[in-house]
Structure 1
Amino acid sequence: MVVRPGPCDCGVTVLLTGLPSAGKSTIADLVAERLRDDGYRVEVLDGDAMRKTLSAGLGFSREDRYENVQRIGLMAKVLARNGVIVLVPVVAPYADSRDAVRQRHVKSGTHFLEVHVATPVEVCAQRDVKGLYAKRRAGELKGLTGVDDPYETPGEPDLVIPADRQSAVESASALMGLFIEKRFVA
């Protein structure tokens, strides 16, 4: 397999933001597999994995959530600046933290895309991939984003994926379409 950069000969950070169980990681993994099969350099910085490593020790206060997104965003920027397509499926509930990551990318001349995986909380609660919504209903968890902690919907994302109305494969295809449109891949 020949490893190749995209047509723009550059990397990009793609922040996939949305509620827990919205489908962010599933879409990122499908896209990463497609891109790797086509010879692109790709990394997935999954929010759950990063919490256990890069952001170990952080809690879920507003400040800690902000710091978590900044750490992941910095790592993504470094990779993207070096020609890697970086998919970042992370809740990132606050607009100011997402904007700070975008601005850091812009200042360094590194490409950045924001993708809103717009799955309604009711659908996320039905999916409940990690059992968070069940724990919240049982009173075992407080501060669940979209339930009793805020999620600030992106104002002008580069792409909105209605993951409740299309399959994961269709959602991945929509993101691939954005990559082609922006000339990150051929």
Structure 2
Amino acid sequence: MQTKAKIGILALVLVVASASFAATAFTTGSVDRQANVNVVNDDTGLIALEDGTSGGLVFQNSTGALEIDFTKGGAGGVNTAAHYELGDPNNGNTSYAFNITNLDAESHDITLSYSGSDSEDTDANIQFQVYDSTGTLVDTADEEGNSASLTGVASGGVHYVVIVVDTHGLTNASDLSGTLTVSA
């Protein structure tokens, strides 16, 4: 019986000793790793946005950001009771306002949304129609709160955006200005 008691006491001492060492192994630590986080123009970012073939209303501005500006030149905006297409909805993969390219090494789900200030009607007066590489319409975002969702865009995958503006039913006091958000 004394042998079992000695083994039990020895085991207890070992457990207590190892617990105290484990608790005091260290209280702080530091590890440095290299990170490359360059800030680049929109057309070379992880989710690249590049102006397309539709003319000067969509362009890379002086800071390298994609800009959509219907007041370019001397214009004050778009006409009332008018229809504009930046790109060609019938050939969205060859004639487009801008494209979105996944330059990351892995696939991403990409969402386009537009927050505008049109409160006059429930019509989609400004649309961002997204086409795949075959020219097929995939989804549409608009100022009425509809978002475009692109699922599983592969590394190197490109989608093309045609912008359609229709001001029928709006007044000359209307404002379709807003923010296009592309998120992955």
Bucket of the pairwise TM-score, normalised by the shorter protein = under 0.3
Q: Which protein has the bigger helix share?
A: 1
Q: Which protein has the bigger strand share?
A: 2
